[in-house]
Amino acid sequence: MDRVVIVGSEGLVVGKLHHAAELIPLRARRDVVAHVNLQQTGNGPLKSLDLLKGALLLIGSGALFPAKKKCMDDHGVQFNLHRLEWFDEIFHNGEVMARTQSTMVELGTIAPPFELMDVVSGKAVGRDDAAADRKGLLVMFICVHCPYVKHIEEELARIGRDYEGKIGIVAISSNDIVAHPQDAPEEMKKQAERLDFRFPYLYDETQEVAREYDAACTPDLFLFDGEMKLVYRGQIDDSRPRRGDGGNDLPVTGKDLRAAMDAVLEGKRPDPNQRFSIGCNIKWKQ
């Protein structure tokens, strides 16, 4: 029998079930609030997303189950729920939204080269194109539908305007558009035009660029200096969207990212004490 552990506050889903007999553990943070044991009782294999959605649907109903409550979803999956106390919403609008933190790549790492299509202009844009005649490069992994991106997208647009011509900026979406058509290039273009992005918005169809950068979530931000060395990665600021009992009411100011960008413009090193970003996991292809 396999276990999926769900953690609250600024936590993550720390187990991903690939099928009923395999469990791959991921990172864990903060308070464990629910243990969900899954046992397939129907015929034939079930997809991992079906299993995980079934678990989150039961928990996301808001009910508090007694210890070892047994129940079954319409996929024929039996659940034993243990010590369910509180649930931080990660099942949102009909899909799994696993809160994931950035990997905090080692400072000094060289920006991997890339060349991707800009969804607005239709032109290919490379790393060196974006950084040409600039004092640095900001690479932002975002998407259209993630609520964590929606929370800060207007500030990203403001940053694009405020630093235009000073620091090169590109946004990249790497999500699987088969599973998430709302992140398709045509939807990315609408987002860019609605927000008046002043920077290229690139589609990473193969997801190879996201993997090269070790991007994990949306938003995931990487700032490089003029030598293409990583000097900042992590959150834009302390603001978090209100989701269930999580998040806060702090305004979105971009203060952490702006301070790092200002330091680069002044020829200084940003403060190395940096806090990870939190967002939806990148939707990797199966």
DSSP for the chain reads: -EEEEEE-SS--B-EEEEETTEEEE----S-EEEEEEEEE-SSS---HHHHHHHHHHHHHT---PPTTEEEE-TTSEEEEEES-------EETTEE--EEE---PPTTPBPPP-EEEETTT--EEEHHHHHTTSSEEEEEE--SS-HHHHHHHHHHHHHHHHTTTTSEEEEEE---TTT-GGGSHHHHHHHHHHHT-SS-EEE-TTSHHHHHHT--EESEEEEEETTSBEEEEE-S-S----BTTB--------HHHHHHHHHHHTT-PPPS-----EEEEP----
The mean-pLDDT minimum among 24-38, 113-127, 211-225 falls in 24-38
Residue 153 or 66, more confident: 153
Is the pLDDT assigned to residue 1 strictly greater than 90?
A: no
Question: Is 270 in contact with 224 (CB distance < 8 Å)?
Answer: no
pTM of the model as a whole: 0.69
Q: How confident is the model at residue 251 (pLDDT cuts 50, 70, 90)?
A: very high
Q: How many CB atoms lie within 10 A of CB 149?
A: 23
Is the pLDDT assigned to residue 207 strictly greater than 70?
A: yes
Q: What percent of the chain has pLDDT over 70?
A: 64
pLDDT tens by residue, 174-184: 999 998 999 99
Rounded Cα distance between 263 and 239, Å, is 21
What is the pLDDT of the chain when averaged over all its residues? Answer: 74
Is the pLDDT assigned to residue 37 strictly greater than 50?
A: no
Residue 149's closest CA among 211, 215, 206? Answer: 215
Which pairing describes strands 77-82 and 230-234: parallel, antiparallel, or unpaired?
unpaired
Q: How confident is the model at residue 244 (pLDDT cuts 50, 70, 90)?
A: low
Residue 200 or 66, more confident: 200
At a CB cut-off of 8 Å and minimum separation 6, what does 203 contact? 116, 117, 119, 172, 173, 185, 188
The per-residue pLDDT for 243 is 67
Is the pLDDT assigned to residue 29 strictly greater than 70?
A: no
Q: How confident is the model at residue 242 (pLDDT cuts 50, 70, 90)?
A: confident
pLDDT tens by residue, 77-124: 343 333 332 233 333 443 445 568 898 999 999 999 999 999 999 999
Per-residue pLDDT, averaged over 68-80, amounts to 38
pLDDT tens by residue, 149-201: 999 999 999 999 999 999 999 999 999 999 899 999 999 999 999 999 999 99
Residue 87 or 206, more confident: 206
The per-residue pLDDT for 22 is 28
Is the pLDDT assigned to residue 126 strictly greater than 50?
A: yes
Domains of the chain, each with CATH number or no CATH:
2-96 (no CATH), 100-281 (3.40.30.10)
